[in-house]
Amino acid sequence: MADQVLATKALCKDFGQSSVLADVEFSIGKGETVCILGPSGSGKTTLLRCLNLLVEPTSGQLYFRGTLFGEWPLGRGNRNRINLTKYRTHVAMVFQQFELFPHLTACENVSLGPRRVLHLSKEAAKERALSLLDRVGLNAFAEARPRTLSGGQQQRVAIARALAMKPDVILFDEPTSALDWEMVGEVLDIMADLAVQGMTMVVVTHELEFARNCADRVVVMEKGRIIEEGPTAKMFESPNLPRTREILGLADGGSRVRRVPKSSQ
Ligand SMILES: Nc1ncnc2c1ncn2[C@@H]1O[C@H](COP(=O)(O)OP(=O)(O)OP(=O)(O)O)[C@@H](O)[C@H]1O
Ligand SMILES: [Mg+2]
């Protein structure tokens, strides 16, 4: 891939005796939106966490911007080479439970990374934060603390926080699954805008409509493996595997299904 941002080769993750990721070959190119779908426990979160190294792979390789970035099991030599703080400025993550600092205002949550890690001045970091809060429709809430915000608003702050680092890619782990249904749309709308604007995004989601409308490519996982992947239209119109049809809610011919059906979770 010409402008590859992230890729894995033969990526495996074991927790004790259990193999949670097995031989995962994943990649995403600049400007792509890739949705990862799959039943509960299929390893989606673990894959995202391996991609930004919140979880250390057991074996395999991780490529960043086309260059080998890490290879596991790590030897003594390359353990020190990986600068996690710097890496995570490039590979941002948005979590299911927002993970905002409760004692900081929305503006402070967004400006913290640019100040501490990118070493922007207080004024420059605040200016960047305010402009991003504006972009996610929260300019009136810059001084609000997370507990006074709705779940949807908190998740929008978390998206602004991810954007504040000007990352190469944002990894979203089920960003709407902790939200009441009436707030899901406001977060998905922001993500759809980002996709249109060319942000590189990996989105783990059960929101099939979002995947169908916004993803360039869909990856389906089951039992720690990628069982099928392809361009979104092909995946939703004529996937190769019957199991993919089930996971994408197509098995009953129902294109109205909004989420991965419970029976396959
Ligand atoms: N820290 C851990 N220690 C042990 N097992 C773990 C750990 N994290 C995840 N697992 C196991 O790995 C498997 C995959 O979990 P993971 O959270 O990646 O799945 P998922 O596809 O994100 O599921 P969901 O849709 O429910 O979020 C599960 O069986 C889970 O119990
Ligand atoms: Mg998960």
pLDDT above 70 covers what percent of the chain? 91
Query: What's the whole-number average pLDDT of the chain?
Result: 93
22: CB partners within 8 A, 6+ apart:
12, 223, 224, 225
How many residues does the structure list for the chain? 265
pLDDT computed for residue 116 by the predictor:
95
Query: What residue's CA is closest to ligand 1, atom 18?
Result: 43
Tell me the two tokens of residue 167.
């990352």
pLDDT score of 265 more than 50: no
pLDDT above 90 covers what percent of the chain? 88
CA 242–ligand 2 middle distance (angstroms): 23
Predicted confidence (pLDDT) per residue in 197-227, tens digit: 999 999 999 999 999 999 999 999 999 999 9
pLDDT band at 247 (very low <50, low <70, confident <90, very high): very high
Rounded Cα gap, residues 186 and 164, in angstroms: 19
Question: Among 233, 230, 257, 231, which Cα is nearest to 246's?
Answer: 257
Rounded Cα gap, residues 13 and 26, in angstroms: 14
* Phi, psi for residue 222 in degrees, rounded to 5: -155, 135
Residue of 257 and 113 predicted with greater confidence = 113
Looking at the CA of residue 96, tell me the nearest atom of ligand 1. Answer: 27
* Phi, psi for residue 16 in degrees, rounded to 5: 60, -125
Predicted confidence (pLDDT) per residue in 132-166, tens digit: 999 999 999 999 999 999 999 999 999 999 999 99
DSSP E strand stretches across 48-164: 59-64, 67-72, 91-94
**pTM listed for this prediction:** 0.93
pLDDT band at 82 (very low <50, low <70, confident <90, very high): confident
Predicted confidence (pLDDT) per residue in 111-140, tens digit: 999 999 999 999 999 999 999 999 999 999
pLDDT band at 49 (very low <50, low <70, confident <90, very high): very high
Q: How far is CA 21 from CA 60, 193, 230, 246, in A?
A: 11, 31, 20, 21
As beta bridge partners, residue 59 has: 12
* CATH level 2 (architecture), domain 4-264: 3-Layer(aba) Sandwich (3.40)
pLDDT computed for residue 162 by the predictor:
98
pLDDT computed for residue 224 by the predictor:
98
- AA letter at 32: E
Predicted confidence (pLDDT) per residue in 183-199, tens digit: 999 999 999 999 999 99
- Substitution candidate for ligand 1 out of 12, 24, 44, 221 with most atoms within 8 A of CB: 44
Predicted confidence (pLDDT) per residue in 167-187, tens digit: 999 999 999 999 999 999 999
| Segments making up each domain of the chain, as ranges | 4-264
Rounded Cα gap, residues 170 and 31, in angstroms: 11
Query: What residue's CA is closest to ligand 1, atom 31?
Result: 41
CA 173–ligand 2 middle distance (angstroms): 7
